[in-house]
Amino acid sequence: MILTDDERRMRDGADGPAVAAAMDLLIRYAAALDAERLCTVRNVAGTTTQPSPLKARLVAEGGWDRAFSVINLDADETLPIPPMAVPTCQLQQGFGPDSVDVVPYPADFVALQSDAEVFYGGRGVSVLATCTPYQVGNLPVRGEHCAWMESSAVVYANAVLGARTNCEGTASTGAASLTGRVPCWGNHHDEHRRGTHLVRVDTPVATFLDWGLLGYFTGDAVQEARPVVTGDHALPDLTDLKHFGAAAASSGGVEMYHIPGVTPEAPTTEAAFGGARVPEPLVYGAAERRAMYERLNDQGDSPDVDFVLLGCPHASLDQIRDAARALDGRRLHAGTELWIMAPRALAAVAERSGYTAVIERAGGRVLTDSCPAMSRAAPEGTRVFATDSAKQAHYLPAILGIEAWFGSTAECVDAAVTGRWRGELR
Ligand code: F3S
């Protein structure tokens, strides 16, 4: 494997034992992947602050140095952790102290996380606390090599921003934070970014719900490959692409896609395939659309909805504003709760803009930092939930053992107000 002088120096301990352990981890990881060298990265999105029973035990044994050494550096001994070498942000985490009256989430986890924020903030980790760092200031440029976790963020970074990252893990992002390196393989290389499958859209795709259904179909059809989506679709916005990518990364493992004329590495269909032969299309028509809708709704039985969840991936400002408009002057059903998950930075803007007041007057809440799937936390006694997110409908029933309904944002708001699911595919 080719190492630069700087990388050898780090490996040999010139920057301290934690950096040496990080470089050792990356070299072993790169060897396992057959990567010939490491990429220089200046943007890491990882997870250090999120509470877990293992983290609590390690902190009790030897503080946050020990927790980071074991969990993020795969080290046996406790190493003193220096400041992060490159800009690093925390993705989604657990719920914070301002959620304790709303979310049934363990108090010891809330305290552990607050402690973690002090430790990691002091070492240069920006606590964005969202699965959508690209919405709140972490916006890598086209071609920039990154080390990101979180499947919905990774596919957005690659496909929509044209940045380059694989779906990294807790250890590789920890090591990347201290070294500014990550194994150079997969999505870092041009040849692994080109399209592999053509998806032809034969039924109109225009709404937020449509983009989720198309993403769910696409991930299921291509699994971990790289689809090129063409045909009868409108121009998507940030929110549509956020939903499309998250859905494709849930039913499959899509990390990169192209929409010719929309995403930056696909000015044309031919360019998306890098000049290779364009394959026969996988067709997404009315029947495929209905099949995806029915699959996402086959975990719903009772029409009595206890809980409505919006904002997965974390809501954009437009989504919060639209929910406020839909709830204005209305009141949630007595037995139904509504949570909108959002990045904390956008929640501050929503509050300042008056959206949160409208949502709270109706009985709903704008919550930050986490989500029910990540923190395994929903309103007490939830048996049936409704969501406008294909990703949350895919995961939450298995995580919490509850029923799910999937539909449009308006149908979810209707369920929150009436306590009944009345959605249907239009
Ligand atoms: Fe984000 Fe939770 Fe969905 S972390 S992508 S809101 S499952």
Mean pLDDT of all residues belonging to the chain: 98
State whether 248 and 288 are in the same domain.
yes
State whether 116 and 253 are in the same domain.
no
State whether 186 and 216 are in the same domain.
no
Alpha carbons 220 and 336: distance in angstroms, whole number: 32
What's the pLDDT score for residue 291?
98
Looking at 142, 166, 190, which one is the last position of a domain? 190
Q: Is the pTM of this model over 0.95?
A: yes
341 lines ligand 1 (CB under 6 A): yes
pLDDT band at 153 (very low <50, low <70, confident <90, very high): very high
Across residues 66-88, what is the average pLDDT? 97
Distance 373 CA to ligand 1 centre (A): 7
**In a domain? residue 250:** yes
Per-residue pLDDT tens for 193-251?
999 999 999 999 999 999 999 999 999 999 999 999 999 999 999 999 999 999 999 99
Across residues 74-80, what is the average pLDDT? 97
What's the pLDDT score for residue 334?
97
What's the pLDDT score for residue 277?
97
State whether 320 and 409 are in the same domain.
yes
47 lines ligand 1 (CB under 6 A): no
pLDDT band at 134 (very low <50, low <70, confident <90, very high): very high
Number of Cβ atoms within 10 Å of the Cβ of 357: 12
391 lines ligand 1 (CB under 6 A): yes
pLDDT-above-70 percentage for the chain? 100
193 lines ligand 1 (CB under 6 A): no
Instruction: Of 388, 342, 336, give the one whose Cα is nearest residue 363.
Output: 336
Per-residue pLDDT tens for 344-359?
999 999 999 999 999 9
Q: Are 321 and 413 in contact (CB under 8 A)?
A: no
State whether 150 and 270 are in the same domain.
no
State whether 268 and 156 are in the same domain.
no
What's the pLDDT score for residue 275?
93
Question: For the chain, how many structural domains are there in total?
Answer: 3
What's the pLDDT score for residue 179?
98
Number of Cβ atoms within 10 Å of the Cβ of 200: 15
R_g over Cα of the chain: 22
Instruction: Of 196, 163, 134, 184, give the one whose Cα is nearest residue 265.
Output: 163
Looking at 249, 273, 295, which one is the last position of a domain? 295
Across residues 383-403, what is the average pLDDT? 98
User: Which residue among 152, 154, 243, 339 is best mutated to probe the pocket of ligand 1, counting the most ligand atoms within 8 A of its Cβ?
Assistant: 152
**Exposed/middle/buried for residue 31 (C-beta within 10 Å: 0-12, 13-18, 19+):** exposed
pLDDT-above-90 percentage for the chain? 100
State whether 216 and 149 are in the same domain.
no
Q: What residue owns the CA closest to ligand 1's atom 4?
A: 131
Q: Are 55 and 104 in contact (CB under 8 A)?
A: no
Contacts of 356 (CB under 8 A, 6+ apart): 320, 324, 347, 350, 366
Q: Where are the beta strands (DSSP E) in 175-251?
A: 181-183, 197-205, 227-233
pLDDT band at 290 (very low <50, low <70, confident <90, very high): very high
Distance 372 CA to ligand 1 centre (A): 8
Q: What residue owns the CA closest to ligand 1's atom 1?
A: 313
pLDDT band at 328 (very low <50, low <70, confident <90, very high): very high
Across residues 365-388, what is the average pLDDT? 98
**Exposed/middle/buried for residue 298 (C-beta within 10 Å: 0-12, 13-18, 19+):** exposed
**In a domain? residue 424:** no
Distance 389 CA to ligand 1 centre (A): 9
Alpha carbons 146 and 144: distance in angstroms, whole number: 6
State whether 175 and 242 are in the same domain.
no
User: Which residue among 391, 394, 406 is best mutated to probe the pocket of ligand 1, counting the most ligand atoms within 8 A of its Cβ?
Assistant: 391
Looking at 277, 295, 313, which one is the last position of a domain? 295
CATH number of the domain where residue 368 is located:
3.30.499.10
Distance 34 CA to ligand 1 centre (A): 31
pLDDT band at 257 (very low <50, low <70, confident <90, very high): very high
Q: What residue owns the CA closest to ligand 1's atom 5?
A: 313
**In a domain? residue 423:** no
What's the pLDDT score for residue 41?
98
| Domain carrying residue 243 | 194-295
Torsion 378-382-387-390 (CA) sign = positive
